[in-house]
Amino acid sequence: MAYKTRMGRSGALLLAAGLLAVTAPPTVAGAAAVPRIDLKVLVVDDGGGAVDAVESELKGSGVPYTVVELDKPGRPVIDAAFLHDTVDGRPRAKYQGVVLPSADPFGAGSAEMAALALYEQTFGVRQVDAYSWAHPGVGLDYTSDGGYAGTLDGVDAAVTPAGKAGPFGYLDGAVEFEDNSPSVGESYGYAGRPRDGFTSYLDMPVAGDGGGRASLVGEYAHDGRRELVVTFAYNRHQRQFRLLARGIVEWLTQGVHLGQSRNYFSVHIDDVFAPDSRWDTELNCTPGDFDCGDGEGAGTVPVRMTAADAQFAAQWQRSSDFTLDMVYNAGAGEEWKAENGGSDPLTTQLLADKAAYRWVNHTYTHPFLGCVQDTSTVPWQCAKDAAGATLWMSRADISAQIRDNHNWAAGKGLSVDRTELVTGEHSGLKTLPQQPVDNPNLGPALADNGVKWVASDNSREPVQRAVGSARTVPRHPMNVYYNVGTAAEMADEYNWIYSREADGGSGVCETNPGSTCLEEPLDTDTGYADYIVPQEARTALGHVMANDPRPHYVHQSNLAEERILYPVLDQVLGDYRALFADNTPVVNPRHRDTGTELARRAAWDKALADGRVTAYRIGRTVTVKAPGVVAPVSAPEGTRKQLFLGTAVFGTAYAGQRSAWTAPDALQQAVTLQLPA
């Protein structure tokens, strides 16, 4: 088949939000029936980056959509029969919005464009022109008439008052275009002055006669139709698109759709109470690792938080209005205490502030929970018995690590949840290439202890999966290394990993296709602050703005000594709060909530793929049927959900909308939402 149908995660939320209505309004004999508008988007794809970006937003937020590949032989013809029909005597529009590569991708005089135009006029369906040049056909003057055409790298654009009052009210106003490399052009576009019927939502300053501002994104109302015209090129990853993506979807769907999205940011601090080995800047390895020196750990002093570091962490949380997840190893802390005269001011301070944090089990002493490691070779390999079978850590030993750590926390009054677990180095799960399968004893041990959500490494396994009766929660590793306490140590290790052999590095970046070498090694005095911090903050903020609930993880060493994590967190939170309005706060979920969100998304995606979701709007009533799953739905403020008796405010407020995962109440077969007048 020449096209594909997909309903994404955002579609589920939209679906749930669209369930506010009770029944469709009755039609009077002889009067035209109020049409049914299905909650699905039509995407006409030319293979370009702009359409791909919009499609990625639909997919990532759960909005159902159908793709027609423009240049694919045998694709369906977009005509009246493709776009609408009649169901139960009522006209039905099959798509609530249309995404085109440009204002007219079919060519002059196209019957398909004529069919789309008539469809949009008849049913009040909106159209996004993903990337167009500025010209009168889209409601703009040519750029030669006081506009601009050229590179947009580093341009300071801004949301207009109309944009803030309309689809982009979740932004504070500033939209700076990325400029990551002075030698590479990253964006190009056209800024034209609006003509009659055009309302600019995002504009930029222009020079030349009269100066002033010209539009980069705006709405063109003409001939009974509405188009959102975007006049710059972009891809799905660029910050300027990520900032505007939510508003593009809300404008296209008129604020009523399946699917939902949030801006998530959680940070796990692994190895709390434990010491972390320190990078040796002379040996270029970490003493204590079996492949470094004599493997016995001599040569450097481990990095461990102090009581003062704990006090600073609590104070930072208060001033930053952000909660960290302390992923703790109680047994390692007890060992430290025993080796240091029976005193441990760090633990005393953290326990005094225990209510300030969330706590997650990281096993008692942080052992490797997978196969028994044979370290006689580099890299290590799984040890075998005489018959050649892999030797594994036992179910009893894994269970003891989980149980003892939980019991210690419960005894100290920590608010730990036994359903959450982070194993040391994500061990027990498959570890390629040495351990290609999970430890078969892991799943049963998780079940023994009531664990439902076990962490995995997103760089290895980005998709949630089952481990026995539990499910994984992928976590983003941050390039703030576990084995450093100072910025100079961090820059030194970074140089070793990302520098060429000729520049004194390991040369791994030259042979690993997934790596990139530095142009030159970083200055160890300034490289962390000037290069690593901005890069890591940019990467993390990209995750935040992509509706990605996966937590980021670092280590307790990053809160110790020079406390090098805080500049990264400060930049992420500072940049975020400068970009987004107060109605769009960072959502800071705990481990189990992330697991639940990912599981719901997977179930929603499957329901869409299986064709088990029906959702539509008739007038102000939205109906969603999704048997067996909760549906994500988004709707405007003022939307109410029909209950068995009466109605209730629908969803929770976010970014100027209401949204939620929702399901029918008892004795109901569908979610019904009533939209505001």
Please, is 644 exposed, middle or buried when counting C-beta atoms within 10 Å of its C-beta (0-12, 13-18, 19+)? Answer: exposed
Half-sphere exposure of 417 (CA within 13 A, CB side): 15
pLDDT tens by residue, 73-89: 999 999 999 999 999 99
Model confidence at 295, in pLDDT bands (50, 70, 90)? low
* Arithmetic mean of pLDDT, 494-506: 98
- Please report, rounded to a whole number, the percentage of residues in the chain having pLDDT higher than 70: 94
Reduced to 3 states, what is the DSSP secondary structure of residue 186? coil
Q: By the 8 A CB rule, do 309 and 563 touch?
A: yes
Residue whose entry in the numeric block shows the structure tokens 């939502």: 201
Q: Report residue 508's pLDDT band, with 50, 70 and 90 as the boundaries.
A: very high
Average model confidence (pLDDT) across the chain: 95
> Residue 357 — pLDDT band, cuts 50, 70, 90?
very high
**What is the Cα–Cα distance from 47 to 260, expressed in whole angstroms?**
26
Strand bridging mode 552-555 / 470-477? parallel
Q: Within a 10 A sphere around the Cβ of 585, how many other Cβ atoms?
A: 15
Query: What does the alpha-carbon distance between residue 559 and residue 551 come to, in Å, rounded to a whole number?
Result: 17
Q: What DSSP assignment string belongs to 570-639? A: HHHHHHHHHHB-TTSPPB---HHHHHHHHHHHHHHHHHHHTT--EEEEETTEEEEE-TTS-EEEEEETT-
How many residues make up the chain in this entry?
A: 677
Neighbours of 103 (CB within 10 A): 19
Structure confidence at residue 291 (pLDDT): 78
454-487 confidence digits (pLDDT tens): 999 999 999 999 999 999 999 999 999 999 999 9
DSSP state of 45: E
Give me the residue label for tokens 């329901």: 607
Find the mean pLDDT for residues 404-422. Answer: 98
Q: Give the whole-angstrom CA distance, residue 554 versus residue 271.
A: 9
**Residue 138, pLDDT above cutoff 90:** yes
157 pLDDT more than 80: yes
Q: How far is CA 624 from CA 142, 432, 547, 666, 669, in A?
A: 44, 43, 23, 15, 9
Assess whether pLDDT exceeds 80 at residue 179. yes
Q: What is the reported pLDDT for 328?
A: 99
Alpha-helical segments (H) within 341-486: 345-352, 395-411, 442-448
Q: What is the pLDDT of residue 22?
A: 34
What's the average model confidence in pLDDT over 493-512? 97
Is residue 99's pLDDT more than 70?
A: yes
CB crowding 412-451: b at 16 or more within 10 Å, else e: eebebbbbbbbbbbbbbbbbeeebeebbebbbebbbbbbb
- Give me 533's structure tokens: 């911090």
626 torsion bin: left (phi>0), alpha (psi -120 to 50), beta (else): beta
pLDDT digits (tens, 9 = 90+) for 189-222: 999 999 999 999 999 999 976 779 999 999 999 9
pLDDT of residue 296: 58
> Residue 42: how many CB atoms within 10 A of its CB?
23
- Specify whether the CB–CB gap between 201 and 217 falls below 8 A: yes
Mean pLDDT of all residues in 340-362: 98
Going by C-alpha positions, the residue among 624, 582, 442, 667 that lies closest to residue 20 is 624
Distance CA 275, CA 301 (A): 10
What is the CA angle 637-638-641, rounded to 5? 110
- Nearest alpha-carbon partner for 129 in 104, 105, 102: 102
535-554 tens-digit pLDDT:
999 999 999 999 999 999 99
Residue 562 near residue 486, CB atoms below 8 Å: yes
* pLDDT at residue 15 in the model: 33
pLDDT digit string, tens, across residues 429-445: 999 999 999 999 999 99
- Given a contact cutoff of 8 angstroms between Cβ atoms, the answer to whether 552 and 543 are in contact is yes
CA separation, residue 618 to residues 11, 20, 23, 40, 251 (Å): 17, 11, 9, 14, 18
> Helices marked H in 84-237 — which ranges?
111-123, 161-165
What pLDDT was estimated at residue 26?
43
Inform me whether the pLDDT recorded for 20 exceeds 70.
Answer: no
**pLDDT for residue 10 is more than 70:** no
Neighbouring CB atoms inside 10 A of 379's CB total: 10
Reported as a single tens digit per residue, the pLDDT across 377-399 is 989 999 999 999 999 999 999 99
Please say whether the beta carbons of 267 and 323 come within 8 A: no
Instruction: Output the six-digit token pair for 322.
Output: 């952000």
The pTM for the full model equals: 0.93
pLDDT of residue 297: 53
Please give the pLDDT value at position 293: 72
Q: How confident is the model at residue 425 (pLDDT cuts 50, 70, 90)?
A: very high
Q: Phi first, then psi: what are they for 70, rounded to 5°?
A: -55, -40
User: For 441-453, what is each residue's pLDDT tens digit?
Assistant: 999 999 999 999 9
Segment (H or E) for 269: strand 267-272
Neighbours of 387 (CB within 10 A): 5
| Cβ atoms of residues 245 and 50 within 8 Å | no
Q: Which amino acid is at 186?
A: E
Q: Which residue has the tokens 């290439």?
A: 433
pLDDT digits over 604-622, tens only? 999 999 999 999 999 999 9
> What is the pLDDT at residue 300?
85
Q: Write the single-letter amino acid at 544.
A: V
The torsion of the CA quartet 623, 627, 628, 632, rounded to 10 degrees, works out to -20
User: What is the rounded CA–CA span in Å between residue 316 and residue 320?
Assistant: 6
Rounded to whole angstroms, the Cα distance separating 320 from 322 reads 5
Residue 510 parent element (H or E): helix 508-511
Among the ranges given (25-29, 273-277, 597-601, 657-661), the one the predictor scored with the smallest mean pLDDT = 25-29
pLDDT at 227 > cutoff 50:
yes
Inter-residue contact 226 to 178 (CB < 8 Å): no
> What is the C-alpha separation between 147 and 450, in angstroms, rounded?
63
- Cα 672 off chain centre by: 29
At residue 32, the pLDDT reads: 77
108 SS3 class: coil
Interval 158-181 mean pLDDT: 97
CB 154 within 8 A of CB 135: no
Tens of pLDDT, residue by residue over 618-656, are 999 999 999 999 999 999 999 999 999 999 999 999 999
Residue 277 pLDDT level (bands cut at 50, 70, 90): very high
Distance CA 289, CA 297 (A): 7
Average pLDDT rounded to a whole number, residues 296-304? 80
Predicted confidence at residue 31, as pLDDT, reads 57
- All structural domains of the chain, each given as residue ranges with its CATH number in brackets, are 136-233 (no CATH), 267-478+549-561 (3.20.20)
pLDDT at 27: 44
* In contact, 600 and 625? CB cutoff 8 Å: no
